[in-house]
Amino acid sequence: METITTPSGIEIAFDRYVGGDAGTVILIGGAFSFRKFPKMVELAERLANEYRLTVINYDRRGRGDSSDSPGVYNVDNEIDDIAALVDAVGGSAALFGWSAGAGLALLAAASGRIPGITRVVAFEPPFVVDHENFVPPADLDVTLHALIAADRRSEVVRFYMTKGMGMPRAFAAIMRFTPMWKDLLATSSASAHDWAIMGPYMRGAALDAADWAGVTVPTLVMSGEKSGALLRTGARAIAAALPNARHRELAKLSHNPNIAIMAPAAGEFLTGTAEYADWAPSTTERA
């Protein structure tokens, strides 16, 4: 484990996987994710070993071995954390974001505050752009922040899963009997950071391309053919709103992805191999 301290005093913990000379990518997890989550570790290992990338797999603030800013939930702070990581690895890096982490990666690129971002991969950012499936309550943060402040972690997990992510109540109830329940509890308070990122874009309204005009670097938006309609619709919508993006829908992939399927699509794009050697935006592709 390595650490850096951001200008605001947050300690960010990360693991560095050195694969070769193909560049650096920073992995950004989503809700309830942390750097030791097995699929994040597998993704980091595959991108390093098979695509010669140096991979930075970090704990976002409030997770794992990173510190937090309790009661302060602002996406700009997390963009500052990413900026500090980019500086720490030499000033240049691509971003790979998963779920809410994909939303954060896109917002970081759109901000214009991190000129060293070279490319972005966004896997199923949970944009809610219509009322066809699920729309979280607009005041979700009021209840969420109160539960976090009271340290009612089990309730935080159930509330965010059902009201913030649209999971069926029965599924959320079953989670407490799984081995991952302790990890969900440990990262529960960080869900407020995820809502700060995604909340404004989960209102059931179309995305405004002007909000994303700053994402000028090549961007690959990925979704899984087996994922729900909400996530697939959101992926297509953000790809269409970005000025320099492609969307790929991968067969046999879901929001709980098979890394052996996901990693090649991401690795080929991040290293500019094969079809990505001569980059040009295009419409949805299926693979």
Is pLDDT above 80 for 281? no
CA separation for the pair 180, 190 (Å, rounded): 16
Separate counts of helices (H) and strands (E) for the chain: 10, 9
Q: What is the pLDDT of residues 213-238, one digit of tens each?
A: 999 999 999 999 999 999 999 999 99
For residues 15 and 92, membership in a common domain is answered with: yes
Amino acid occupying residue 70: P
For residues 74 and 215, membership in a common domain is answered with: yes
Q: What is the pLDDT of residue 286?
A: 54
For residues 188 and 212, membership in a common domain is answered with: no
Position 176 confidence tier, pLDDT thresholds 50, 70, 90: confident
Look up the domain containing 12 and give its range.
Answer: 2-130+207-286
Note whether residue 135 is domain-resident: no
Is pLDDT above 70 for 84? yes
How many domains in the chain?
Answer: 2
Find the mean pLDDT for residues 45-71. Answer: 97
Helix 191-198, helix 75-88: angle, nearest 10: 100
pTM value is 0.95
For residues 25 and 124, membership in a common domain is answered with: yes
Find the mean pLDDT for residues 58-85. Answer: 97
For residues 122 and 229, membership in a common domain is answered with: yes
Residue 21, classed as helix, strand or coil, is: coil
Q: What is the pLDDT of residue 179?
A: 86
CA separation for the pair 12, 287 (Å, rounded): 36
* Mean pLDDT of the residues in the chain: 94
Name the domain boundary from 179, 198, 217: 198
Find the mean pLDDT for residues 136-164. Answer: 96
